[in-house]
Structure 1
Amino acid sequence: MARFDRYVLSQLFVLFGFFSLVLVSVYWINRAVILFDRLIADGQPASVFLEFTALSLPNVVRLVLPMSAFAASVYVTNRLASESELVVMQATGYSPWRLARPVFTFGVLVGLFMMALTQYLVPSSLEQLRFRENEISGSLSAQLLREGEFMNPTAGVTFYIREITPEGVLKDVFLSDRRNEDRVTTYSSVDGFLVTEETGPKLVMVNGIAQTLIKEDRKLTKTKFTDFAYSISSLIDAPGAIFKPLDQRPTSELFLATDIVAKATGKTPGRVLEEAHGRFNQPFLCLVAALIGFSTLLVGGFSRFGVGRQIIGAILLLVLVKLVESIVTDPVRNNPELWPLVYAQSVFGFSVVFIMLHLAARPRRRRKDASAQVGASA
Structure 2
Amino acid sequence: MSKIDRYVLSQLLLLFGFFSLVLVAVFWINQAVILFDRLISDGQSALVFLEFTALGLPKLITTVLPISAFAASVYVTNRMNNESELTVMQATGTGPFRLARPVFVFGVIVFFMASVLNHFLLPLALQQLSEREAEISQNATSRLLTEGAFLHPSPAVTFYAREITEDGVLRDVFLSDRRTPEEGVIYTAAESYLIRNQDITTLIMVDGLAQRLSTRTNRLATANFHDFSFDISALTRNVSAQNLQARNMLTPQLFTAWDVLAAQTNQRPGDFAEEFHARFAEPLFCIVAAMIGFTTLLVGGYSRFGVWREVAIAFGLLLLIDGARSTLQKPVRDDASLWPTLYLPVLVGALLSIAMMWYVARPKRPRRKRQPAQEQPA
TM-score normalized by structure 1? 0.83
Cα pair 1:170 1:193 within 8 Å, conserved: yes
Mapped partners of 1:275, 1:182: distance in 2? 42
- Residues 149-298 of structure 1 correspond to what in structure 2 (within 5 A)? 149-151=149-151, 153=153, 159-166=159-166, 168-175=168-175, 186-189=187-190, 191-196=191-196, 201-203=201-203, 208-210=207-209, 220-223=222-225, 225=226, 228=227, 230=229, 232=231, 234=233, 236-238=235-237, 242-263=242-263, 267-298=267-298
SS in 1 for 2:115: helix
Partner Cα distance (2:167, 2:243) in 1: 36
Equivalents in 2 of 1:310, 1:182: separation in Å? 65
Q: In structure 2, how many angstroms separate the alpha carbons of the residues matched to 1:199 and 1:321? A: 47
Corresponding residue of 1:373:
none
Please say if 1:302 is aligned against 2:325: no
Residue of structure 1 in register with 2:336 after alignment: 336
Give the AA of the match of 1:188. A
Q: Does 1:13 align with 2:10?
A: no
Per the TM alignment, residue 151 of structure 1 is displaced from its structure 2 partner at its CA by 4.2
1:270 Cα offset (Å)? 3.3
Return closer, same or farther for 1:162/1:86 CA change in 2, 3 Å cut-off: same
Contact 1:78 1:307 in 2 (8 A): yes
Kept after mapping to 2: 8 A contact 1:143/1:236: no
State the SS of the aligned residue for 1:23.
Answer: helix
Residue 173 of structure 1: SS of its match in structure 2?
Answer: strand
- Note if contact 1:24-1:60 (Cα within 8 Å) is conserved in structure 2: yes
Contact 2:172 2:188 in 1 (8 A): no
Measured after TM superposition, the shift of residue 315 of structure 1 is: 1.5
Structure 2 residues not aligned, in runs of 5+: 369-378
Segment of structure 1 superposing worse, 158-167 or 306-315: 158-167
- Is contact 1:69-1:110 (8 Å) kept? yes
CA distance in 1, matches of 2:232, 2:331: 47
Per mean C-alpha deviation after superposition, the further-off stretch among 110-119 and 172-181 is 172-181
Asked if 1:102 corresponds to 2:115, the answer is: no
For the structure 1 residues 199 and 231, does the alpha-carbon distance in structure 2 shift closer, same or farther, using more than 3 Å as the test? farther
The answer for the alignment partner of 1:47 in structure 2 is 47
Matched ranges for 1:64-83 at <5 A: 64-83=64-83
Query: Which residue matches 1:141?
Result: 141
**Change in CA separation of 1:349 and 1:156 when aligned onto 2, cut-off 3 Å:** closer
- Structure 1 CA distance, aligned partners of 2:323 and 2:272? 21
Deviates more, 1:86-95 or 1:261-270: 261-270
Asked whether the equivalents of residues 73 and 291 of structure 1 are also in contact (C-alpha less than 8 Å), the reply is: yes
Answer with 291-300 or 71-80: which moved more: 291-300
Q: What is the one-letter code of the residue matched to 1:112?
A: F
